[in-house]
Amino acid sequence: MKGKCYNMKEGIRELGVIRQTLYYWIKKKWIKPKRDYRNFPVFTENDILNIKEWRERLKE
């Protein structure tokens, strides 16, 4: 993975959602985060932008 990566806490802050929301989206397979060496979900800058765009499209 190149560029900045966000862990769950940073991703939550960037997206403005609560942890349960992010885990729900992952469980429903609406988003597919990358995994770090501990198998924890991480998000690239591109992932964050794509999720923000996806949320905006849902609002339309």
- Say if residue 44's pLDDT is above 60: yes
What confidence category does residue 57 fall into, taking pLDDT thresholds of 50, 70 and 90?
A: very high
Q: Identify the sign of the CA torsion 56, 57, 58, 60.
A: positive
- Specify whether the CB–CB gap between 11 and 43 falls below 8 A: yes
Please give the Cα distance from 24 to 46 (Å, whole number).
Answer: 20
pTM of the model: 0.83
Spatial contact of 48 and 14, defined as CB atoms under 8 Å apart: yes
Looking at residue 4, its pLDDT comes to: 87
Please count the structural domains in the chain: 1
pLDDT category, 1, cuts 50, 70, 90?
low
- Structural domain for 20, as ranges: 5-59
60 vs 56, residue with greater confidence: 56
- Candidates 9, 15, 3; CA nearest to 41 is 9
Q: What is the mean pLDDT of the chain?
A: 92
Q: In this structure, what CATH number is given to the domain that contains residue 11?
A: 1.10.1660.10
